[in-house]
Amino acid sequence: MSDTNGNGSIGEVIVASTTRFRAIAARVFEPPRFGSFVKVATATGPTYGVVAGVETASFDSARRAIAFGMPWDQLLREQPQLMELIQTEFDAVVVGYGAGGSLHHYLPPYPPRLHDFVAPCSPTEVAALTDSLEFVRTLATLRDVPTHELVSAAIREASIARGRDDAFVSEAARAVAELFKDDYDLAMSIVRRIG
């Protein structure tokens, strides 16, 4: 995924709280993947999140997109302004932050600032964030997202960043089984989705 501003960012924060942030993707149709780990550099250190939702819509919320009934390449030829009228946004759930050279697996004292840039986490950062499986617990407590899909996607993304670490996947599956011990079917659904 490339950026449009030359600073390595994949998005810009437009809504922020200590629990989540929303960003506009640097390029339409090129958001970070669902379940991937992202960061926002702040004055006190990075805020880390997991992408929990992505949507593309009209830039102007008062104007809905309409169907043109033609293939995408033809649509772009006949309506070249279309790319200026839509945007891709993504939401990230905060799973930790860095301060004073330490990584904290809990919510930061302050949210990122509006218009801060979002960047993908490096494999090293993902490994550090996922050494503790607290991120699984954080994601498992969410109520406004498809929890089973998000937990499994985040574990898959972490596994990829960690070089397909089988020991990590096994440990994460055990954490899922423990967290969802009262709902065996949901726990097994998540474990099957981990891959």
Structure pTM? 0.91
Question: Domain locations in the chain?
Answer: 11-194
Residues contacting residue 64 through CB under 8 Å, at least 6 positions apart: 58
Can you give the pLDDT of all 195 residues of the chain as single tens digits? Answer: 344 455 789 999 999 999 999 999 999 999 999 999 999 998 889 999 999 999 999 888 788 888 999 999 999 999 888 888 899 999 999 999 999 889 999 999 999 999 999 999 999 999 999 999 999 999 999 989 999 999 999 999 999 999 988 999 999 999 999 999 999 998 999 999 997
Residue 135 and residue 94 in contact, taking contact as beta carbons nearer than 8 Å: no
Q: Is 137 exposed, middle or buried (0-12, 13-18, 19+ CB in 10 A)?
A: middle
